[in-house]
A = this chain, B = another copy of it.
C-alpha cells in the first residue's frame, strides 16, 4: 500500500495552509514550496475545494485558503476524501475492475475493513496536531523566497 501522489500532496497542501501566518496562498507559491508542478497542485486544490476543506478566490489578491480551522479537519476524513478517486485495488473501481477473481474473492471485504481501520486511526488526529513551530517557520520562509 502507498499513498498516491495526489493524496500525499493534498496533505502537504493542508500542512502549508494551516501553518502560515498569512491566510491566502497563490497556487504558484504552494507549488513552489511543495516542489510540485502547478498543474498537479491545482487538481489537488480543486478536490480539496469540492470537499469544503479549502476556499479558492480568483483575481488579484486571490488564492487558496483553509475553509475550516485546522482543529476541525480530521486526518482520516480528508485523506479518505482525497483518496476518493483512486481505488485501493482493481476491484474497488466503480466499474468493478478487471480482476477475474472479483466474483468470488473473499479478500475484498477484508481489505475494505482494514482500509477503514487506517482512516479511523488517522481520525484520532486533526490537522492542528500536525502544526508545529518548525513547520510554521518553513511556511513563513516561503513568502520571502518567492
Contact = CB atoms under 8 A, between A and B. Distances in A.
Contact of A105 (B2, B7, B135): B135
A3 interface: yes
30 contacts: A1-B4, A1-B7, A1-B88, A1-B115, A2-B2, A2-B86, A2-B87, A3-B88, A8-B89, A8-B90, A12-B99, A15-B105, A15-B107, A33-B100, A34-B100, A35-B98, A76-B114, A104-B138, A105-B130, A105-B135, A106-B129, A106-B131, A110-B125, A110-B129, A110-B130, A111-B122, A115-B118, A117-B117, A117-B118, A117-B121
B1 A118 contact: yes
Nearest to A86: B2
Contact of A101 (B12, B125, B129): B12
A104 to B, nearest CB: 3
Given A110-B130, A114-B119, 11 more contacts: A1-B3, A1-B4, A2-B87, A2-B88, A8-B89, A12-B99, A15-B107, A35-B98, A35-B100, A75-B110, A110-B129
A72 B103 CA distance: 25
Chain A binding site: helix, strand, loop or mixed by DSSP?
helix
A83 interface: yes
A122 B110 contact: yes
A75 to B, nearest CB: 6
A91 B18 CA distance: 20
